[in-house]
Amino acid sequence: MIDYNPKNWWKFIFYFHKSDTFSKLMPAMLGIAAYTAIFAYVENNILHYVPIRNPLTVHSLVGFVLSLLLVFRTNTAYDRWWEGRKIWGSFTNNSRNFALKLSTLLPEGHTSRETIRILIGNYLQATKDHLRGKAKVDHLTFTATYNEDYYKDHKHIPNRVAKALYTEIYKLHQEGLFNLEQFLALNNELSSFTDNLGACERIKNTPIPVSYNIFIKKIIFIYVFTMPITAVLEYKFWSIPIVTLVFYAFAGIEIMAEEIEEPFGTDANDLGLDNMVVNIKGNLLEIL
């Protein structure tokens, strides 16, 4: 995720980075410009069509409908991105609450403080890797009980870490370090971890319906590639930058929506999960 100052207009007008839509669309924009230029030359210098009245009327109506579709598309993608951010905010709060309760219930120097701190950090690390499709055991921190052998041969690493957390809390309850009410309060915090993970998996495993994506792309393609037919009658060779700009606007919105609809990846505009996990681990270290 990119940190930026939203008030610095001039920087963003002339700034390009690897995920910038202008950079991604540059080859296609050049192709559209060349296509329009050829169409304008043929129509104005060879065929000499008689201009018709209001040639852009149909495209104006279709453009309005297409704009509404893209607004809905962008809002849907942003809702997914924002819901993912809220879920990871809940991860942060739940981790802190869980750690604060344990720091009060467990005596200073108790070995379980360190073990549980490591397990909570492992759960968040495993969740982040799991959502990115590459959960790896070697990204975790091992303890004497929960070492590499404990995690190997398990496909869903977050569930394995959650089981270790439940085991530790139940063991402490059996030792009499907290009563039943306190045990249930801690159990609720643990359940929230699994609930948050399930919500993240729902976002990741339920993409925007493919038919909707295909339809918008087809409409953009048809709209842009038929626009020179009428644009050159009205604007002559000025239709070259006009059609190119229209393509950039519509296709750019679609590309931005594609990027943020999957918020747990590693694209520039995806959620900064790496920093979130590091910050939460730092909080846990201070508390426990």
Q: Is residue 134 part of a domain?
A: yes
For 204-257, how does the pLDDT look when each residue is reduced to its tens digit (9 = 90+)? 998 888 888 888 888 888 888 888 877 877 778 888 888 888 888 888 888 888
For 144-174, how does the pLDDT look when each residue is reduced to its tens digit (9 = 90+)? 899 999 998 888 999 999 999 999 999 998 8
Mean pLDDT of 182-195: 90
Q: Is residue 8 part of a domain?
A: no
- Count of domains in the chain? 1
| Class of residue 157 by CB neighbours under 10 A (exposed 0-12, middle 13-18, buried 19+) | buried
| Class of residue 181 by CB neighbours under 10 A (exposed 0-12, middle 13-18, buried 19+) | exposed
Residue 98: per-residue pLDDT: 93
Q: Is residue 223 part of a domain?
A: no
State the residue range of the domain holding 194.
95-201
Residue 81: per-residue pLDDT: 93
Q: Is residue 100 part of a domain?
A: yes
Q: How far is CA 80 from CA 73, 85, 161, 252, 258, in A?
A: 11, 9, 26, 19, 11
Contact 259, 270 (CB under 8 A): yes
Q: How far is CA 72 from CA 68, 208, 212, 213, 281, in A?
A: 6, 12, 11, 12, 37
- Percentage of residues in the chain having pLDDT higher than 90: 35
Q: Is residue 197 part of a domain?
A: yes
Contact 141, 122 (CB under 8 A): yes
Position 203 pLDDT exceeds 80: yes
Q: Is residue 141 part of a domain?
A: yes
Q: Is residue 253 part of a domain?
A: no
Nearest to 40 by CA among 234, 248, 222: 234
Residue type, 261: E
Contacts of the segment 265-271: beta carbons below 8 A, 24+ positions apart: 265/132, 266/132, 267/19, 268/1, 268/2, 268/17, 268/18, 268/19, 269/1, 269/2, 269/19, 270/1, 271/1, 271/81, 271/84, 271/85, 271/88
Contact 96, 287 (CB under 8 A): yes
Q: Is residue 165 part of a domain?
A: yes
Contact 269, 252 (CB under 8 A): no
Position 9 pLDDT exceeds 70: no
